[in-house]
Structure 1
Amino acid sequence: MIELATQAATPMQRAIMQACPLVCVPPGESMTPLTVPGRRWVVAGNGTYLEHRSLALHVCFRVSRLETTFGTASQFVTAINGPVPRELLQQCVDLALTARDKETAALIHWNPEEGVYELTQPVIESAGEAHVTYRDESQDDLLVYDFHSHGHHPAFFSKTDDASDNSRMGPYIAIVAGECGKPETVKTCARMCLSPYLLEWGTYFKGQELP
């Protein structure tokens, strides 16, 4: 049971806490991961974690290094339905190469009815050398990868990308491809989107392969 450090909580405050509750790992024990979709804060001996499980991804990320006397937890990223076929990621790159100097987009999500991962292209409303806008009709809790290209520009996450990625709760992985003139020059960068955190893959998940 969590005791609030105030005399009372407003209905809105309680609703926020219920949407993303806080739990503590018992001293001397290890964290028991979520087994159903949900989102929560986890206080462990080596910090505070944000854990989020969708129908496609299960992520636990340490957001602070506060030392406590609670039990242990660790970071992880797991594709619940198994690894995503690398051919689908290559198809994303192929789409970027085909679009060349124009931006394009694609989504990789889990199809529970067919039991497979699928790549779909959203309805692109506008695309140019420095922008792409599309109608996002995907089911967020089935999304694994959100991909778009930057044409001949470098691979990086712009402020527009930040706003777009923070508009979803996540978790999902965003990938940007840049310098898409030819196969030997194309470069990519990736990050985990776990709103409000946008986590550069190479910085926060060193040594862990993409799902």
Structure 2
Amino acid sequence: MDSRDVALQSVMPTVMVPRYAELEELDTPGNRILMAENGVWLEVCHAWLYARIPVSLPLRIPVPYGVIYEELRFGFGKLPKAMVAQFIEQARVRSPNECAAWGVWNQRTDSWKLLMLEERSVGTDHIEVNLPTLEEGEHRVMDLHSHGLHDAFFSREDNQDDRGETKIAGVIGNLDKPEVTASFRLCANGVFLPLPFESP
């Protein structure tokens, strides 16, 4: 096999799900493709996340693979509502311009911080930011941005930006109203999984 193919497949290996034994979960950071009787799945492991997500329907032919089920576990427990509320307040101050922030989880201390991102260019319908460097043990879990006076939704540009990343993305809109609108999703290597939002 070409060495380039070996390198590519080592980054994203494909695993056949056993029929008569338990699948050993991925326990080191990375991604795998899982071939199962009930379809093709993406498996993702990070310090803060373990996920198995279906990405394709089962094959039409009989296959010698086992069945697996959807799984989504966060290493930090529940999402920090207080931090989202803090971002909403920051976004109200900056409205009608957009703003952006990261929700950073410290694995060693199991604590959170909201990191407002430095803006290179910003307006009522766009934002460009400088990305910060995190300390050892810190993980960017949430990627938040606001839509000022507009509804919360993921734009075509958001979809492109989020395509190759693993994170929770959130958009907050209608910041001129008492009740903001919000849209949250898990981004996992090109798969987008909607997440519920409970107003903080």
* TM above 0.5: yes
Structure 2 Cα separation of the partners of residues 113 and 26 of structure 1: 35
Residue 53 of structure 2 is aligned to residue 61 of structure 1: yes
Computed over aligned residues only, the root mean square deviation of the Cα atoms, in angstroms, reads 2.2
Q: Is the 8 A contact 1:110 1:143 kept in 2?
A: yes
Question: Aligned AA for 2:11?
Answer: A
Which residues of 2 match residues 129-140 of structure 1 at below 5 A? 129-139=124-134
Could you tell me which of 95, 98, 110 is aligned with 2:90?
Answer: 95
Distance 1:30 1:93, change over 3 A: farther
* Structure 1 gap segments, 5+ residues each: 1-8
Residue 188 of structure 2 is aligned to residue 191 of structure 1: no
| Alpha-carbon distance, 1:64 to partner | 0.9
Residue 159 of structure 2 is aligned to residue 162 of structure 1: yes
Residue 147 of structure 2 is aligned to residue 150 of structure 1: yes
Cα deviation digits, residues 161-199 of structure 1 (max 9, x gap) = 122212xx4321111111111222x101122212222x1
| Alpha-carbon distance, 1:36 to partner | 2.0
Report the TM-score, using the length of structure 2 for normalisation: 0.86
User: Structure 1 residues 66-75 or 123-132, which shifts more?
Assistant: 66-75
4+ residue runs over 4 A deviation: none
Cα deviation digits, residues 61-107 of structure 1 (max 9, x gap) = 11112153412212222211322321112222222222221101111
Identity %: 29
Give the match's secondary structure for 1:49: strand
* Structure 2 gap segments, 5+ residues each: none
Give the match's secondary structure for 1:142: strand
In the alignment, what sits opposite 2:14? 22
Question: Aligned AA for 2:78?
Answer: P
Distance 1:208 1:147, change over 3 A: closer
| Alpha-carbon distance, 1:200 to partner | 4.5
Structure 2 Cα separation of the partners of residues 84 and 49 of structure 1: 25
Q: Which has the higher strand share?
A: 2
Give the match's secondary structure for 1:26: coil
Cα deviation digits, residues 124-167 of structure 1 (max 9, x gap) = 2222110111111255x82211000111112111122122212x
